[in-house]
Amino acid sequence: MVERDSTTTIPLWWVLGTFHTVALGLALLLLAYPGGGLGSLLSSLSTVSGIALFGALWATTLFCTRQALAGLDWLSDDPRAMGTFFWRALRWGAVNGMLFLATLIAVQLVTAATAPATRATFQLASALFVVLLYGSFGTVFAAAIGAVIGVTLGALDIVALRVARSLTRAG
C-alpha cells in the first residue's frame, strides 16, 4: 500500500484533501471577485477569523477525505473502486458540509460573545435560537451542498488520475 511509509510515499488523503480545500477556495474567489461582491463578503470577516475559517475547512476536509479513502485502492482506477469512491465522496462531502457549518456557527458565536462591540448585547437565548435554527434546517442544506461539492471534487480527482495515467502511456 502506497501510504504506509511517509518518507518514501505521499499520503494520498493529504494531497487530495488539500487539493479539495484549495480548489473550493479558488472557485469561490473566482466566482465572487469579477461580480464585485468579494469586498462586501470579506468585510464581515477579520483577517484572523478568515484564516481560522479556512483552517477549519482544511481540517474538516482532510478528515473527510481520509475517511473516504480508507481501505480503498484509489490509484488502481478499478471501476468498482471508483464506484465506491463516488458514493463515499457523496457521503463524506455531506458530512464535511455539516462539520463546516458547525464550525462556522461556533466561530460566529464565539466572536459575538467575545468581541467588544457585540459582547454587551450578546444574549444566551438568542445564541441558542441560532444554534437550533441552523442546527436543524441549516444542516440539511449544508449536507446537500457538501454532497454536491464532494461528488464534483471526486470527479476532478478521477480526471487527474486519468490524466496522470495518459501521460505515462504517452511518455
Cα 44 → chain centroid:
21
- In angstroms, rounded to a whole number, what is the distance separating the alpha carbons of residues 83 and 23? 22
Tell me which residues in 61-90 interact with another protein (CB under 8 A). Answer: 75
155 binds another protein (CB under 8 A): no
Q: Render the burial of 156-170: b for 16+ CB within 10 Å, e for the rest.
A: ebeeebeeeeeeeee
- Rule CB under 8 A: choose which of 4, 116, 125, 168 binds another protein: 168
CB of 169 to another protein, least distance (A): 9
- Count, residues in the chain: 171
The residue (of 43 and 136) whose beta carbon lies closer to another protein is: 43
**Nine cell digits for residue 22:** 484549495
CB of 58 to another protein, least distance (A): 6
| Nearest Cα residue to 86 out of 164, 165, 4, 159 | 159
Q: Which stretch binds another protein (CB under 8 A): 44-52, 97-105, 109-117, 130-138?
A: 44-52
Cα 114 to Cα 51, 75, 118: the distances in Å are 18, 47, 7
Residues 109-148 vs another protein: string with x where CB under 8 A?
----------------------------------------
40 binds another protein (CB under 8 A): yes
Q: Which stretch binds another protein (CB under 8 A): 84-92, 99-107, 141-149, 160-168?
A: 160-168
